[in-house]
Structure 1
Amino acid sequence: MKKLLFLLIVLFALSGFSQKDNKRLTHFNLEKNVAIQGYDPVAYFKQGKAVKGKKEITVSHEGVVYYFSMPVNKEYFLKNPSKFEPQYGGWCAFAMGDSNEKVSVNPETFKIKNGKLYLFYNAFFNNTLKSWNKNESGLMMKADANWNKIVK
């Protein structure tokens, strides 16, 4: 009886983890479970630029896979993943605040604000980072509220 109870507890715990992973996978901007189109999330902070990661240097954090350009960046990430993950699941920050939409990004168009990484759409003569900068605080408040509704 104790073994059965233990097994049920383990299965329940594992299903809770997989539900959290599935929720992240559903809402994050991913290509084959890889975030930021394979760019290194730590490089934005440590190198101040977008740097492509390598498939050989990866971490899966709650179902989301991140690539890193060098092993030390992977180590930084492992110490505090939430510090380096992009805001709004890697979707365009401007679109999240302006229209509550999940819009793809150009990983090379980004901003670090208050220790957080924001990514933006930038194609066809439309750089949403410029629009974001015109009303950053208002758009950030709306984007935060919109994202919190999505992930609940």
Structure 2
Amino acid sequence: MFRPAFAALTLLAPAPVAAAPVWTGLLGTSAAVGGYDSVSYFAGRPVEGSDKFTTVYKGATFKFATARNLAAFEANPARYAPQYGGHCAWAAANNYRFAGDPKVWKIVDGKLYLNYNRDTQVKWEKDIPGLVAKGDINWVSLGK
């Protein structure tokens, strides 16, 4: 039996999350972390990467400001790649994906987390351990 109301809702529903790429590019770039050098965050100041120093990790292009940072990433990409594929940590904790802003970040327990904007980060910072635990659980299905 055809149900017009249900059909209309189905047409308006957003595409399934799984259709989105795991790694997010931001600021008009297809590069991971919006083209920022993910190793530079661990020195306390994110800088934009260069097309001269790139590598591919899990299907995403990562850019680096220096050959040294590229080498560090290639030696241990899991250490330097942002959590949740560079998506917003607060969104992952709430079981959805939303692009993380490379300018809104925090290193927690040696891991890089991005958030959508500063207001969202303030909400995330109210319970980082609890929200990271939720994000880690949710990312198992969101990250596919």
- TM-score, normalising length: structure 1: 0.75
Q: Decide which of 110, 118, 130 is 2:113's aligned counterpart.
A: 118
TM-aligned CA deviation for residue 33 of structure 1: 4.5
TM-aligned CA deviation for residue 75 of structure 1: 0.7
Match of 2:128 in 1: 136
Confirm whether residue 96 of structure 1 aligns to residue 88 of structure 2.
no
Deviations along 1:62-91, one digit per CA (max 9) or x if unpaired, are: 321100011100010011011101000000
Distance in structure 2 (CA, Å) of the matches to 1:120 and 1:94: 6
Match of 2:82 in 1: 86
Distance in structure 1 (CA, Å) of the matches to 2:111 and 2:58: 19
TM-aligned CA deviation for residue 128 of structure 1: 1.4
> Aligned to 2:39, what secondary structure does the other structure show?
helix
Match of 1:36 in 2: 33
Extract unaligned runs of 5+ from structure 1: 1-22
Amino acid across the alignment from 2:45: K
Q: Aligned in 2, Cα 1:26/1:104: closer, same or farther, shift over 3 Å? A: closer
TM-aligned CA deviation for residue 150 of structure 1: 2.2
Extract unaligned runs of 5+ from structure 2: 1-17
Structure having the higher strand fraction is 1
TM-aligned CA deviation for residue 100 of structure 1: 1.1
Distance in structure 2 (CA, Å) of the matches to 1:131 and 1:107: 17
- TM-score, normalising length: structure 2: 0.79
Root mean square deviation of aligned Cα: 1.8
After superposing the two structures, state which structure 1 stretch, 73-82 or 32-41, moved more: 32-41
Distance in structure 2 (CA, Å) of the matches to 1:149 and 1:93: 15
Confirm whether residue 74 of structure 1 aligns to residue 82 of structure 2.
no
Deviations along 1:75-129, one digit per CA (max 9) or x if unpaired, are: 10011011101000000001111x211112220110101110000111xxx5211
Q: Decide which of 37, 49, 55 is 1:53's aligned counterpart.
A: 49
Distance in structure 1 (CA, Å) of the matches to 2:87 and 2:143: 13
Q: Which has the higher contact order (CA 8 A, sep 6+)?
A: 2
